[in-house]
Chain A
């Protein structure tokens, strides 16, 4: 299976900050990388697919980039509702595999 490594595992930031989360694949996955947001007790939500395509309805402050093995999720100006755990997932191979998550907390 392809291993996905996210960093950092946790991050403290303030409303209005710009934050970046990185995800690295153990082999090239082209642009087959997706990002999800998960809040406790809620269903996870797809934010970005194919590395950089913003899902309809997701605020434009979320951007994804990268290809091959290295990817980033950037939130340009944190809003209170953005504090959550974020996961990357490769969909290049089946089974799709996930990063271990990045918990974004309020500073």
Chain B
């Protein structure tokens, strides 16, 4: 069974860049056919799919965030990462990494990491 663990800063200042990493265990990023995804949950609101990266490095980002998002993958560490630039308070959310099957089914999730954007 795949396990995922997010890591990164809990507090980031407005206008700065958020960097999160997801460490994968129980599967190899380089050989898996999953998409490696990021999803966030705004307090009191719904879940928002941010995007995914495949082990080839190909990516797909939510058009609403595309201009600010970069995802990368490090097969040597079995990790994938998210960078989100130009943060505002609206980016305050619980951020989850997840595995996604090609049909868009999110079959494994991390426990999430809370990111607060505040000065």
Q: Which residues does A use to contact B, with CB under 8 Å? A: 32, 34, 36, 41-46, 49-50, 55, 87, 89, 91-92, 94-101
Contact = CB atoms under 8 A, between A and B. Distances in A.
Given A97-B49, A98-B47, A42 B111 contact: yes
Given A95-B62, A99-B46, A41 B111 contact: yes
Given A32-B104, A91-B103, A95-B63, A43 B109 contact: yes
B110 interface: yes
Interface of B: 4, 45-49, 51, 60, 62-64, 96, 103-112
A46 B45 contact: no
Contact of B112 (A34, A43, A45, A89): A43
Residue of B4, B51, B105 most packed against chain A (CB within 10 A) = B105
A100 B106 contact: no
A87 B106 contact: no
B93 to A, nearest CB: 13
Given A94-B60, A97-B49, A98-B49, 7 more contacts: A34-B105, A34-B106, A43-B109, A43-B111, A87-B46, A87-B47, A91-B105
A43 B110 contact: yes
Q: Is the interface of A mostly helix, strand, loop or mixed?
A: loop
Contacts of B51: 95
A100 B46 contact: yes
B109 A45 contact: yes
A89 B45 CA distance: 14
B46 A98 contact: yes
Contacts of B109: 43-45
A8 to B, nearest CB: 15
Contacts of B45: 100
10 contacts: A43-B110, A44-B109, A45-B109, A46-B108, A55-B107, A87-B46, A89-B47, A92-B104, A94-B60, A100-B45
Nearest to A99: B46
Contacts of B107: 46, 49, 55
A96 B50 CA distance: 9
